[in-house]
Amino acid sequence: MATQAARIPVAKTYKIYIGGKFPRTESGRYYDLQNAKGKVIANICRSSRKDFRNAVVAARAAQPGWASASAYLRGQILYRIAEMLEGRREQFIAEMTVQGVGKKAATEEVDAAVDRLIYYAGWADKYQQIFSAVNPVASSHFNFSVLEATGVVSILAPESSGLLGLVSNIAPTIVGGNSCVVLASESLPLNAVSFAEVLHASDVPGGVVNLLTGYRSELAGQFASHMDVNAVICCDADDDTAADIQVKAADNIKRVIARDGINWSKATAASPYFVADVQETKTTWHPIGS
């Protein structure tokens, strides 16, 4: 009697997220994600420059509509993201542990990510009250300064915090009306791709958040040099990468926001100033009197 052959497990091939859809990388390239024992646990898309350009096109198309949505609606959608993440809590914890994060630490990180989304949802209709102003002037005018979204923001996510660090940069970026293109952690990418599925089910318009995976060394220059990106957030860059981003971003006077050495689990890693970092200040003069 023939014996049953041992089953060969199938490693999942994770896709990227562009314009509200889940395409495979146009490059056809992947890298093996391995656990601590060297076993392949997933195939991760190695995104190309073309993928990044496609993501920027999607982000630019989505940004005006997202920026014109009411603050109340943006807050409600961020809250919905938190609800959906909470509902898939066990999946995210399992993904973290398979990547080598301890169960206790994984649980704390997922819970903190949910809390952080709710934190920024609450700021949706409040940050203008903090950072806007009526300015004193010497002439017969009212002078107002208010914040506006800067546009499309590229984000090089933290390498050591695959979910909480990712959420802590996406949430303050989009709550103020920006769209974004994000490169996930190279060594801890699983939660990022699953987070794209959460976004997809959370009323976030397609193109507002676009998530890529791949090698930072291949894509960091594109994130900084693309002429239709208005600001770049760079987390935990080494000295050479940080200097290269500054030089390339200067060509179109792109704002560079460096976030280095931040412990994303601390309360100090959540701040309305992260919202203000990716806002422009518009000042309006209005005459008064005759």
Using 50, 70 and 90 to split pLDDT, how confident is the model at 11?
A: confident
Over residues 256-287, the pLDDT tens digits come to 999 999 999 999 999 999 999 999 999 999 99
Q: What percent of the chain clears pLDDT 70, i.e. is strictly above it?
A: 98
Amino acid 58: pLDDT: 98
Do 135 and 144 touch, CB atoms closer than 8 A?
Answer: yes
| pTM, entire model | 0.93
Over residues 51-70, the pLDDT tens digits come to 999 999 999 999 999 999 99
Using 50, 70 and 90 to split pLDDT, how confident is the model at 2?
A: low
238 Cβ contact partners less than 8 Å away, ≥ 6 residues apart:
none
Over residues 167-201, the pLDDT tens digits come to 999 999 999 999 999 999 999 999 999 999 999 99
Tokens describing residue 131: 């950072």
As a whole number of angstroms, the distance between CA 33 and CA 26 comes to 19
Helix (H) or strand (E) holding 187: none
Closest CA to 198 of 239, 236, 170: 170
Q: What is the average pLDDT value for the chain, to the nearest integer? A: 94
Over residues 110-128, the pLDDT tens digits come to 999 999 999 999 999 999 9
Amino acid 14: pLDDT: 87
As a whole number of angstroms, the distance between CA 44 and CA 11 comes to 10
CATH code assigned to 17-25+38-265+272-287: 3.40.605.10
Do 288 and 141 touch, CB atoms closer than 8 A?
Answer: yes
As a whole number of angstroms, the distance between CA 179 and CA 96 comes to 27
- Tokens 């290269």 belong to residue: 244
DSSP string, 55-91: HHHHHHHHHHHHHHS-HHHHHHHHHHHHHHHHHTHHH
Amino acid 1: pLDDT: 53
Query: What angle separates helix 71-87 from helix 190-200, to the nearest 10 degrees?
Result: 120
Q: Where are the domains of the chain?
A: 17-25+38-265+272-287
The DSSP 8-state label assigned to residue 267 in this structure reads G
